[in-house]
Structure 1
């Protein structure tokens, strides 16, 4: 077993953007490995490529040792004081959101940190890399705030392929471990199941929720908690703010408006805990306003939040496939196909769902996730929406098996789950 997980995919992206005149913004959920990527893997790369230690300026803003540098003016003075000649300096700042105040968030144009970083970029001998765990601060406004000089690198928890490369052993056993505990890097260092469970549960209460409550001045933490439970227990199910608000009111006796629920949903997404997929009308080529599907960024966190009591394999597999598609940089929607049926002179319309409609550049695929299609009726039910798209884009069904890829008489690719997760080019087969 290796001692270090080599996250070459992200390291290659960082080294490929080195010296490109832009601020490299590395985003992702807290504890997914951004700090290790920046301060260990990328730092070692710089040293190996001939950069001297004094040319690397590292600041971890979530560390008490660097508390005063959360003030952008202090941060600027510290960094500029380290730049003493015309050599190239590499500035590595971790958890940059700590240098942005709540008041500044209300008017992003006044965020002082952005002005500090833009000012540093005017120096010809600096290359800046920052990490952050909040997309509102670091994604939505980044292009305007950095005046077109922000370059985002999205980091996800460990993929199954990364975990399997580290763990080795039997694929199916490794997958069951991954489907239970997910891919947060430190989980792999825990020896017992109890340690893994406790670590993941504590991440929610001691890290993520505290961050969100403090950052957004959450007035109803109980609602945030119940909302998170609801999303975790229904990953891959269609929902919206109104539906969740009604559920909280009737089932949990929590009186909360759909507006508050909608805001809290956005906070959970902005903190990278969840992401959502919109519904897309395949034939009408338009999006539905609601409902959407929500998926947890790490399946282990989802399971921990539910005390490992809800193990619906179908939804867990769908969530894992969704996360893998995002990691491979596809845009992902939920497909809706209208099927017209008729008998005896009567015609009825029925909406059927395609789990994922994915796009990257000119490529477009339709994907169904199926736990088991051993019965012909189950297989036909899964293939039916794919057959009715009436277009020529590639259609794929991913099944939880170790089967070799094959294509049926309708041109639909049948792909085993392990093949998909371990082979970056599986969709091209």
Structure 2
């Protein structure tokens, strides 16, 4: 037991130890910190390596700075092999009991459990301690599988948790960590690289490529192949490659099945649909439904998929024809999601609007295009927005060097300034 306690001590904030905190992500920590002091379980979800662990440690550090005794922080990261001895929730119970015996913390204990889905039965631990009225606990957990977390939390903690989705660095965070000036060129640099936190400590493209490849392999193997007993791992990876290389395009599962069949690969609709669902669960890909702007309802059939981070495209599959306009659209989608919007692809008869974004009472229609290089391009991009007869906000986002004046109530926004209006 002593070696287990030594491991716990190694990664905690006791006796002046400060685990690595990384680049401070104030937007996330502010939002999460607003919920401290309640019995609500704080749940951070998102793709592996998107920065959830750093944010948990930043919150713990912020609690200490606000006066919480470091000895009242209990932090476990199941991604670290040092914690392999915790496989079942009762192992975690034993470790928590050992911690209380050794440190004898007074008052509330703040529990931080990173990558909680790697502990079998974790939901029993969280449910028990979040509702413990004898000993006071406040719980923060993170996970990389949306379906598993949402099913367990909805079953046991209905209404007693709050969810935060963590994305890779925004452009604003990118310029903060790189100290680059906010302008078109740095935005293009952002677009042509990637935004996962660890990329910024790697020295060159080769190490970055190896890092991104390792993430992809780990997610596919540990989070999908092993968990779901996948019978055709090569097909799973090829489905992922297809989605990456067709991001920002309207696709259907039937089209994907036909694509593989035309290449001599036997598969079925259900297999491809399941594989896509599993990839979505890992947050590496996001599905966006079409939305009938006139009928105010979603439309089944074709949809779009966006990559959680463009590093998968830029470092792993750069040879496939993929214009800057598609990458820009992907980044606009991610920026809308970071800002808390529900996002849809807008449809009305023969026209399509790239994004219908909703948050509370606010609704924005957005078109995304590389450049408004001539009058014909401008007419093409503005026409779908002009055809919408309601009075909600409308905007065109592009990489033009100059900001154009409003046209019939439609704003033009340079991509690197998008976050300012959201």
TM-score, scaled to structure 2: 0.90
Query: SS of the counterpart of 1:280?
Result: strand
Q: Specify the alignment match of 1:348 in structure 2.
A: none
1:140 to 1:316, Cα distance in 2 relative to 1, 3 A: farther
The 2-side partners of 1:36 and 1:403 are apart by 37
Distance 1:308 1:53, change over 3 A: farther
* Cα distance in 2, alignment partners of residues 121 and 248 from structure 1: 47
Q: Is the 8 A contact 1:181 1:196 kept in 2?
A: no
- Contact kept in structure 1, 2:184 and 2:399, CA below 8 Å: no
Match of 1:20 in 2: 38
Q: Which runs of 5+ in 2 are unaligned?
A: 1-20
2:159 equivalent to 1:160: no
- 1:58 and 2:64 aligned: no
Encode CA deviations 1:5-49: one digit per residue, 9 max, x unaligned.
21001111221111211111110100011111112x122112211
Distance 1:285 1:323 in 2: 23
Partner SS state of residue 90, structure 1: strand
8 A Cα contact 1:402 1:419, kept in partner: no
Q: Which residue of 402, 413, 425 maps to 2:420?
A: 425
The answer for the alignment partner of 1:108 in structure 2 is: none
Counterpart of 1:292 in 2: which secondary structure? strand
Secondary structure of 1:372 counterpart: coil
Match status 1:49 vs 2:47 = no
The residue that corresponds to 1:283 in the other structure is 294
Shift in Å, 1:4: 4.3
SS in 1 for 2:300: coil
**Residue 207 to residue 271, structure 1, CA distance change in 2 (3 Å):** closer
Show the counterpart of 2:8: none
**1: distance between equivalents of 2:151 and 2:249?**
26
Output the CA distance in 1 between the equivalents of 2:260 and 2:90: 44
Aligned to 1:373: 372
1:210, 1:5 → 2: CA distance?
27
Q: In structure 2, which of residues 204, 207, 214 is the aligned counterpart of residue 192 of structure 1? A: 204
Q: Is the 8 A contact 2:123 2:152 kept in 1?
A: no
What residue is the counterpart of 1:126 in the other structure? 137
Counterpart residue number, 1:384: 383
Aligned to 2:111: 91
- Give the secondary-structure state (helix, strand or coil) at the position aligned to 2:169: coil
| Structure 1 partner of 2:12 | none
1:74 to partner: Cα distance: 1.6
Equivalences for residues 21-420 of structure 1 within 5 A: 21-39=39-57, 41-83=58-100, 84=104, 86-100=106-120, 112-124=121-133, 125-170=136-181, 171-251=183-263, 253-307=264-318, 309-338=320-349, 351-404=350-403, 406-408=405-407, 410-420=408-418
Task: Confirm or deny: 8 A CA contact 2:45 2:164 kept in the other structure.
Answer: yes
In 1: Cα distance, 2:390 partner to 2:114 partner: 46
Query: RMSD in angstroms over aligned alpha carbons?
Result: 1.7
- For residues 105 and 216 of structure 2, the distance between their equivalents in structure 1, rounded to whole angstroms, comes to 44
Q: d(CA) in 2 for partners of 1:308 and 1:129? A: 41
SS of alignment partner, residue 6 of structure 1? coil
Which residues of structure 1 form unaligned runs of 5+? 101-111, 339-350
